Structure 1
Amino acid sequence: MKVEARIFDVCTAFFFLAAIVYTVLTQESVGVAGLWLTGGLSLIIGTYFRFVARRLEERPEDNPEAEVSDGAGEVGFFSPGSYWPVTLALAAAFLGLSLAFWHIWMIGFGLVFVLVAVAGLVFEYHVRPSHH
């Protein structure tokens, strides 16, 4: 996570520098606010990565002398036949369209649709204990 934290440190410095230059050169308030907020959000993410990096053991990505073979092995579990990601994408698209056209009943339905899809994705492999 140290690599990711450094990337966001560089982004944060760039956004704040751009915000300073933009503030001095223009009097346009929306762009100024957007750049300052972007810098702040980048700072939050970088701080989170630094916080997490202290609690994790060093990964091969964090070691400049690591070999490619150091990262070999299982990466994680990926569901081979899940329809929930597609369902979530459709729910997000529906919610986006409902926001674009500002139909309140569609927004309500879209929010429920997104929540159901997220719950389905999160709890896909959660099985109730059997009563034997």
Structure 2
Amino acid sequence: MRTTARIFTILMVFFLIVGTVYGLMSSLWDPAGLEPVGFAAILMLGGLSAMIAAVMGMNARRHRDRPEDDMHAPVSADAGIQGSFAPYSWWPLWCALAGAMVFLGVAAGWWIAGLGAVVAIYGVTGWVMEFSRGPYAH
């Protein structure tokens, strides 16, 4: 986690520098004034990177070193269960279909995005509740 905290700290510094330069350059080239959306978005991206870096830094102090933090760790040090995945699940297909419908709706018509939102609610609910019913219920 220390490595992840360092990466997001570097990203924070990068986005704050780029956001400041972008704000200065856009205010110099645009006689009407500062372009507010891009400047604010890049600075907020730096703030989001700072929040992730802070959380990862706190977790790195609280927990033991991860294998990715040790330069001499073997590949087998990170072996084991990486997650729990449902076999033969159809719910990711519904979620992908919903995402495609929402993005198509932005381009073609908002009513399609509304239908995609309904399908997304159905797909996400089914995927979250998959282990609570049927043969996989605990």
Whether the TM-score (by the shorter chain) exceeds 0.5 is yes
Q: Where does residue 38 of structure 2 map in the other structure?
A: 31
Structure 1 residue 62 displacement after superposition: 2.3
From 96, 121, 125, the counterpart of 1:115: 121
Q: Where does residue 2 of structure 1 map in the other structure?
A: 2
Q: Where does residue 65 of structure 2 map in the other structure?
A: 58
TM-score normalised by length of structure 1: 0.80
Measure, in 1, the Cα distance between the counterparts of 2:44 and 2:101: 28
Moved over 4 A (4+): none
From 86, 89, 101, the counterpart of 2:96: 89
In structure 2, relative to structure 1, the CA distance for the partners of 1:31 and 1:85 (3 Å cut) is same
Task: Give the CA RMSD over aligned residues.
Answer: 2.2
Bigger share in helix = 2
In structure 2, relative to structure 1, the CA distance for the partners of 1:111 and 1:56 (3 Å cut) is farther
Structure 1 residue 53 displacement after superposition: 3.5
Measure, in 1, the Cα distance between the counterparts of 2:61 and 2:126: 32
Measure, in 2, the Cα distance between the counterparts of 1:99 and 1:32: 25
Residue 116 of structure 1 aligns with an amino acid whose one-letter code is: Y
Q: How high is the sequence identity, in percent, across the aligned residues?
A: 39
- The number of aligned residues is 127
Matches within 5 A, 1:66-85: 66-85=73-92
The runs of 5 or more residues in structure 2 that have no matched partner are 28-33
User: Cα deviation per residue 1:11-61 (whole Å; 9 max; x = unaligned)?
Assistant: 111000111222222215133222212212222222233344444443211
Measure, in 1, the Cα distance between the counterparts of 2:102 and 2:119: 8
Q: Where does residue 14 of structure 1 map in the other structure?
A: 14
Measure, in 2, the Cα distance between the counterparts of 1:5 and 1:50: 5
In structure 2, relative to structure 1, the CA distance for the partners of 1:126 and 1:106 (3 Å cut) is same
3-state SS of the aligned residue for 1:125? helix
